[in-house]
Amino acid sequence: FAPWNDPAAVPLIRYENVSKRFGEFTAVDNLSLDIYEREFFALLGPSGCGKTTLMRMLAGFEDPTEGRITLGGQDLVGMPPYKRQTNMMFQSYALFPHMSVWDNIAFGLKQDRMEKGSIAARVEEMLKLVKLEKFAKRKPHQLSGGQRQRVALARSLAKRPKVLLLDEPLGALDKKLREETQFELMDIQMQLGMTFLIVTHDQEEAMTVADRIAVMDHGKLIQVAPPAVIYEQPNSRYVADFVGDVNILEAKVEAIAPGNVSLYTSVGGGAKLSIAQNVEAKPGDTAFVAIRPEKVRVDLDPPAWQEANCLRGEVWDIGYLGDLSIYHVELEGGTRIKAAKPNLTRMVERPITWEDKVWVSWTPDSGVVLTR
């Protein structure tokens, strides 16, 4: 499933040169984005980057200052929210407390004057979808947090919108329940074959649920790509840093060859770096090498088989996380680097310990050179 790579695919949602200003302040800055049918799309970014505003313009709670938004080819700007084929799921505290689960789900359908028999059929279908058939008569306060969340979901899906909008939908749930609910959301989205657009500042949530992620900063899209591309091939220090843990080393470009960049860094005893990548840069340019902690090796002896990407340092801390241990190594010159090592066997003694002189290293295909 990758319609975004298919030049013939027609997007369901199109933002074209959309800007939104509140007075002097630009919340969304000349942004263009296509989202496809059946896609689970995540808007990810820190607080204030404009992701909620971007979503609210699709729902019709805000109109853009400039630009065009279309859904299935139809221009949305100026159309009131209730006429749009979008629906926003609100957090569970927006349920009607005095109404049963059944009535909460039926509410929008009754407002639309749907015929009684059809309402009953649709509510039953929704109850089944969210696995709450046995809870139809209960009131929201007689349900757990996770169950209430599922009622809210059923209610927002009952009218069969073309796009479901989810604004930090799982923020109120604890970690375990949040993870379970993420998988339920994915399952329901697949079953219905609908387009879901989620706003989150939680990178793990975005990585788990989404087909594609847009990473935003100051009203602009920095990178739009599937989770694995965002993680493995971030296009900037901003994205590398926002998604997951990363080590970033400043270096100077020495030479460029097809599929390879050689660099030189002054830290770690002064070392040659080599990264398997095509980069637009020239010798002498400053660049940044980003390496994920799980791709960094720590050894007491220099790994003899490797010519580049070996730096000297000293272990100044080891963080035990159960599944992993994080080795914090201070390189000669002061830069610190993290290496994550899975704890595969029960550790009786640590082979590498505090204040050990070590070598950190990584293979040329596990780092990324970033020029911005």
Q: Which residue, 22 or 354, has its beta carbon nearer to ligand ATP?
A: 22
* Least distance between ligand ATP and beta carbon 220 (Å): 12
CA–CA distance from 6 to each of 1, 3, 16, 144, 276 (Å)? 10, 5, 19, 43, 27
The C-alpha R_g of the chain, in whole angstroms, comes to 25
Applying CB under 6 A, the span of 22-30, 291-299, 315-323, 335-343 interacting with ligand ATP comes to 22-30
> Is 5 a residue that touches ligand ATP (CB under 6 A)?
no
Picking from 71, 1, 6, the residue whose alpha carbon sits closest to that of residue 38 is: 1
* The two three-digit tokens of residue 278, written as one number: 């095509």
* Least distance between ligand ATP and beta carbon 237 (Å): 20
Q: Which residue, 25 or 305, has its beta carbon nearer to ligand ATP?
A: 25
Q: Of all residues in this chain, which one has the CB nearest to ligand ATP in the complex?
A: 52
* Least distance between ligand ATP and beta carbon 362 (Å): 34
Q: Which residue among 1, 2, 9, 22 contacts ligand ATP (CB under 6 A)? A: 22
Going along 151-278, which residue ranges are E strands? Answer: 163-167, 195-200, 212-217, 220-225, 247-257, 260-265, 271-275
CA–CA distance from 20 to each of 68, 87, 105, 184, 220 (Å)? 11, 21, 33, 33, 11
- What H or E segment, with its residue span, contains residue 43? strand 40-44
* Least distance between ligand ATP and beta carbon 192 (Å): 25
CA–CA distance from 306 to each of 239, 315, 362 (Å)? 29, 21, 9
Count of residues binding ligand ATP (CB under 6 A)? 12
Applying CB under 6 A, the span of 21-29, 77-85, 280-288, 306-314 interacting with ligand ATP comes to 21-29
* The two three-digit tokens of residue 153, written as one number: 């979901």
Picking from 19, 27, 4, the residue whose alpha carbon sits closest to that of residue 213 is: 4
Binding to ligand ATP, residues 87-116 (CB under 6 A) = none
Binding to ligand ATP, residues 46-85 (CB under 6 A) = 47-53
Q: Which residue, 50 or 364, has its beta carbon nearer to ligand ATP?
A: 50
Angle between helices 116-129 and 101-111 (to 10 degrees): 130
Nearby residues of 243 by Cβ (< 8 Å), 6 or more positions away: 44, 203, 207, 213, 215, 230, 231, 234
Q: 42 near 165, Cβ under 8 Å?
A: no
Q: Which residue, 78 or 284, has its beta carbon nearer to ligand ATP?
A: 78
* The two three-digit tokens of residue 43, written as one number: 């808007």
* Least distance between ligand ATP and beta carbon 17 (Å): 18
By residue count, the chain amounts to 372
The terminus-to-terminus CA distance of the chain in angstroms comes to: 30
Binding to ligand ATP, residues 197-216 (CB under 6 A) = 201
Binding to ligand ATP, residues 34-53 (CB under 6 A) = 45, 47-53
Site string for ligand ATP, 323-352 (x = CB under 6 A): ------------------------------
Q: Which residue, 54 or 249, has its beta carbon nearer to ligand ATP?
A: 54
* Least distance between ligand ATP and beta carbon 28 (Å): 7
> Is 155 a residue that touches ligand ATP (CB under 6 A)?
no
**List of residues contacting ligand ATP (CB under 6 A):** 22, 25, 27, 45, 47-53, 201
